[in-house]
Amino acid sequence: DGGLDAWTGPLERGAPETRAVAHEAEPWPDHFLAGADDVNQHLADGGLVVDARAAERYRGEFEPVDPRPGHIPGAVNLPFTDLLRDGSLRSDVRDILEERGIDSTTIAYCGSGVSACLEVLAAESVGLGRPRLYIGSWSGWSSEPSRPAALGDEQ
């Protein structure tokens, strides 16, 4: 949330003293992840799917990575950068997310499943619950030719 430049506390210099700890990392629980079939069903049920990519990528005007431009039909666009100001979450991030209807029932995606994590964690951090992450995101969706793609602001 701002990185080292935003840190106001004291800083230590030199190598830190370390000690071994026993810790077993756990993967993100499956019930917080969604696949393409989950996204289709969620949209069919009237659920909210949010695309965290830049508006130009959402509209299909610019696609630097994936095989097809556009977005998942029915998804709305909220670029993850809209939640940031000067490298930190905006003070009104809860208002932004609530205005869009984002809560624990939402599925979020981006290009590859990284940027959407900011929207997932932002929602959780302001008490709106943890949306699910479509882990395949646009890269996974667009790589399957049978899946539809929408262009422009079409939902």
Residue 110 annotated among the catalytic residues of the structure? yes
DSSP-assigned letter for residue 16: P
Q: Which residues neighbour 116 within 8 Å (Cβ) at sequence distance 6 or greater?
A: 50, 52, 80, 108, 109, 110, 133, 134, 137
Beta strands in the chain (DSSP E): 33-34, 49-51, 76-77, 84-85, 88-89, 107-109, 132-134
* Catalytic one of 110, 116, 122, 123: 110
User: CB atoms < 10 A from the CB of 14, how many?
Assistant: 5
Residue 32 backbone phi and psi in degrees, to 5: -100, 5
Instruction: Please enumerate in sequence order all residues whose Cβ is within 8 A of that of 117, keeping only pairs 6 or more positions apart, or say none.
Output: 133
Residue entry with tokens 């990519």: 53
Residues marked as catalytic: 110
